[in-house]
Structure 1
Amino acid sequence: MTVTTTAHINSRGQARDMLDFYGKAFHGEVTVATYTDIHAAEDPSHADQVAWGQVTAPNGFRVMAYDVQPSKTFDAGENAFYIALRGDDAGEIQQMWDGLADGATVLTPLGPAPFAPLYGMLTDRYGVTWIVDVTPSPN
């Protein structure tokens, strides 16, 4: 199994610009899914904002970003990033989730999502917010 951790930057309406900027700066490929793409727009004005995005470069550089939904609080000084834990083995990801969940506040229970076989979000006992998912199979 392969597991990686990636910086996951949070923004309020700037994720697409950030991803394009980092894509150019690091010569990487930008991938974006909007809230419309994943059928999760809370508000029509938010529909084309980034629900999930990443930059990957041939040299190994990777960063993820998204636009925080209007229903969630956002303060760049308090929750400017998450740590994203990704893997390709659902059983191993479940075990890691279970370990992180000890004493954590679960924000989104680990389960199937429109964009990944498993996805969940929690804030661990130390105040670090983790996004945990199983890497989707290429189409």
Structure 2
Amino acid sequence: MTISTTTHLNFRGDARAALEFYRTVFGGDLAVVNHPDGDQVMWGQVAADNGFRVMAYDVPGDLSYDPGDKPVFVSVRGTDPDEITTFWTGLSDGATVVQDLGPAGWSPLYGMLRDRFGVTWVLDVAVNY
């Protein structure tokens, strides 16, 4: 048996815009199911052939929602520095850079940013230890 994990992001009204944005960065297919009572996302996903997958939904207005300060980091790790740089460039649109993309003690290429939807992304090139 095999399993996989997928990051599931929660938003308050921005899930569709976030998923559409992530699709422009990583490619893939967008699937969205709206809440029956409106245009908010009940379930959404971007899945790409390169292995990228993220899910999201809009927390309904009658439920509490606090995105918190640092509730989760989404880590994107790859083996191709050019591909990581391309993802970084896409995610940087409207983002706040926490750590510029560059060499780090554990990776030849590492960066952290908080995108325009408040999600913190960590991108790096994997190395074999």
TM-score where L is the length of structure 1: 0.48
2:53 aligned with 1:71: no
Q: Which amino acid aligns with 1:57?
A: A
Native 8 Å contact 1:55 1:64 kept in 2? yes
| Structure 1 stretches lacking a partner, 5+ long | 42-46, 82-139
Aligned length: 72
| Structure 2 stretches lacking a partner, 5+ long | 73-129
Q: Determine helix, strand or coil for the equivalent of 1:2.
A: coil
Structure 1 runs of 4+ aligned residues shifted over 3 Å read 78-81
Report how far residue 2 of structure 1 moved. 3.1
Inter-partner Cα distance in structure 1 for 2:9 and 2:49: 20
Q: Determine helix, strand or coil for the equivalent of 2:55.
A: strand
Which residue number in structure 2 is paired with residue 50 of structure 1?
41
TM-score where L is the length of structure 2: 0.51
Native 8 Å contact 1:11 1:80 kept in 2? no
Cα separation, partners in 2 of 1:11 and 1:35, compared to 1, 3 Å: same
Native 8 Å contact 1:53 1:65 kept in 2? yes
Query: Cα RMSD (Å) of the superposition?
Result: 1.8
Identity %: 50
Higher relative contact order, structure no. (Cα contacts within 8 Å, ≥ 6 residues apart): 1
